[in-house]
Amino acid sequence: MYLVSNHRPSRRKFLADSSLAAGSVLLAGKARSLSSAIARELSLTATGPFQPTWASLRAHYHYPEWFHDAKFGIFLHWGVYSVPAHGSEWYEKHMYGDPATIKWHTEHYGPPAKFGYKNFIPMFKAQHWDPDAWAELFKHAGAKYVMPVAIHHDGFAMWDSAVVPWNAARMGPHRDVIGELGKAVRRQGMKFGFSNHYMEHYNFIQPLPGLKTDLYDPKWAAFSSVADRNPAAFKRFLAMWVAASKELIDKYEPDTLFYDNGVNPRKFDPQKLEVAAYYYNRASEWKKAVTILTKDHAYLAGNTEDYERQQRAPLTIQPHPWECDDSVGYRWGYLKNDHYWHVSTIVTHLVENVSRNGNLLLNFGPKPDGTFVETQLELMKGIGAWLRVNGEAIYETRPWSRFGEGASVNGRPPYTGSDFRFTTKGDVLYAIVMAWPGQHAVVRSLATSDALKGKVEQVQLLGHNGPLHFVQDAQGLTVTMPSEQPCQYAYSLKISGLKFA
């Protein structure tokens, strides 16, 4: 059902993938219309309360409730870099600037002067890609929102763009990946957004001195942004970044926009503010609650904070919703012979984040043909199975007065049966025990000596029928556990009777 490699797309009239020369001539012929497209997008404005200032964003922005409720999303790094599947999704940078990668590339494809990064584009075919199968898979995994990379550092756009000519609708797959996936995801009732890493593109490639490359080929020089790096060219690039952002907003009405670290410097504030005000005013017209996700104080207001990698996630309860993005593999894009997480790692990271008012955005890297390796499929199925038992303790919850108790309060294993993480929903407290406690689970934070409002009246274990026997005293809440475990990895006690208002 979810092995999407079995999907066979319908016949299409494609441009000849084998002819990069024809593609470059096509792009060269589009130069005038490209300039017009950028000018058109730059001239667009959206009426509404948001002005391109931090003060205006601070005054009018509100965190979306749907994002606060969602807790779990799926991130996707899929692009031209999935073809070589070597080293990382930064392959374009390293094949021109890292001696070891240059050697590997030359051995497998030829020297960079004869086989450049552009030559991977016809090999990125997505011939088995089925966006509906993907969306069904993500829904079954328990995701509430999905966020593919719309454009990575390499500058190859995954949507049908009039602004970025090097895109998946004109080359490679010859499909509007963002548009098709967005429709499929929304048909499954999930929210849809995308990440934009384009700001990193301009200075991404730093060629090794003396290396012969294809980077100065006049037909493709603009694709790599190496041949022309004067101030005027950079100004044009910034205009293109704004135009591409507005185009994405208008074409796909995203529920989230994610910008990678490249937008962090304050010198890009004018561009960031223009796009933010435009996005939020457009969302007001759509009557949608949306958010911009950024890292490291890239935005001074009007955003949701994202933390890349779990080791950077907050260890305390935060006053506002936040998100951690991390990958199930060693890197972000598909790599041959990658090393992957275990389902237990996904579960514990999700629980840790939710107990601290955060979300988990979990990344997967599809293969260039549009399929997932079996290990990634198993990970999605595993977290989905856990959430079908324990989702009540995760979705639409809010933090308690403390996020947890036990020896592993730093958020890192090993966990024992005395490690708990807490969430709430109304007057229900969920105590998620991070390892099976054996015959008894003791929640010391619920001792009668503590200043608790109300008293425990009932304890249930999600996935187990019927209430559990318990004793609440000065030592804590001691719960007699059933003989059979209802799931694996972490176990949710549903505690009723306390008052949190």
Pick the last residue of a domain from 353, 373, 393: 393
Q: Kind and range of the H or E element at 250? A: helix 231-252
Residue 17 lies in a domain: no
Asked whether residue 166 falls in the same domain as residue 307, the answer is yes
Enter the tokens of residue 174.
């010859």
Asked whether residue 238 falls in the same domain as residue 164, the answer is yes
CATH code of the domain covering residue 465? 2.60.40.1180
Give me the torsion for CA of 298, 58, 149, 240, rounded to 10°. -80
The dihedral of CA 106, 112, 115, 117: what is its sign?
A: positive
> Residues 160, 169: contact at Cβ < 8 Å?
yes
Could you tell me the strand order of the sheet in which 440-443 lies?
A: 440-443, 476-480, 470-473
Asked whether residue 362 falls in the same domain as residue 438, the answer is no
Asked whether residue 232 falls in the same domain as residue 160, the answer is yes
Distance of CA 419 to the CA centre of its chain: 28
Residue 1 lies in a domain: no
Q: What DSSP state is assigned to residue 10?
A: P
Residue 19 lies in a domain: no
Distance CA 303, CA 264 (A): 13
- Which residues 6+ apart lie within 8 Å of 305 measured at CB? 293, 294, 295, 318, 320, 322, 323
Residue 93 lies in a domain: yes
Residue 347 lies in a domain: yes
Asked whether residue 443 falls in the same domain as residue 353, the answer is no
> Residues 129, 178: contact at Cβ < 8 Å?
no
The dihedral of CA 324, 254, 142, 339: what is its sign?
A: negative
Asked whether residue 410 falls in the same domain as residue 381, the answer is no
Q: What DSSP state is assigned to residue 81?
A: G
Pick the last residue of a domain from 393, 422, 440: 393
CATH code of the domain covering residue 115? 3.20.20.80
Asked whether residue 66 falls in the same domain as residue 167, the answer is yes
Distances (CA, A) of 182 to 142, 159, 179, 306, 404: 17, 11, 5, 22, 37
The tally of CA atoms less than 13 A away on the side-chain side of residue 458 is: 9
Residue 339 lies in a domain: yes
- The boundaries of the domain holding residue 294 are 47-393
- Show pLDDT as tens, one digit a residue, over the chain (501 residues): 333 333 333 333 333 334 455 455 445 455 567 788 898 888 888 899 999 999 999 999 999 999 999 999 999 999 999 999 999 999 999 999 999 999 999 999 999 999 999 999 999 999 999 999 999 999 999 999 999 999 999 999 999 999 999 999 999 999 999 999 999 999 999 999 999 999 999 999 999 999 999 999 999 999 999 999 999 999 999 999 999 999 999 999 999 999 999 999 999 999 999 999 999 999 999 999 999 999 999 999 999 999 999 999 999 999 999 999 999 999 999 999 999 999 999 999 999 999 999 999 999 999 999 999 999 999 999 999 999 999 999 999 999 999 999 988 777 779 999 999 999 999 999 999 999 999 999 999 999 977 889 999 999 999 999 999 999 999 999 999 999 999 999 999 999 999 987
With vertex at residue 138, the alpha carbon angle to CA 4 and CA 488, rounded to the nearest 5 degrees, is 110
Residue 36 lies in a domain: no
Asked whether residue 312 falls in the same domain as residue 439, the answer is no
Asked whether residue 180 falls in the same domain as residue 92, the answer is yes
**Domain tally, the chain:** 2
Asked whether residue 93 falls in the same domain as residue 138, the answer is yes
Pick the last residue of a domain from 339, 360, 393: 393
Asked whether residue 370 falls in the same domain as residue 490, the answer is no
Q: Name residue 76's beta-bridge partners.
A: 148, 364
Give me the torsion for CA of 134, 138, 139, 144, rounded to 10°. -130
Residue 20 lies in a domain: no
Omega within 30 of 0 (cis) for the link into 414 = yes
SS3 138: helix
Q: Using CB atoms within 10 A of its CB, is residue 47 exposed (0-12), middle (13-18) or buried (19+)?
A: exposed
Q: Structure pTM?
A: 0.93
Asked whether residue 357 falls in the same domain as residue 434, the answer is no
The dihedral of CA 304, 39, 268, 274: what is its sign?
A: negative
Enter the tokens of residue 101.
């990668």
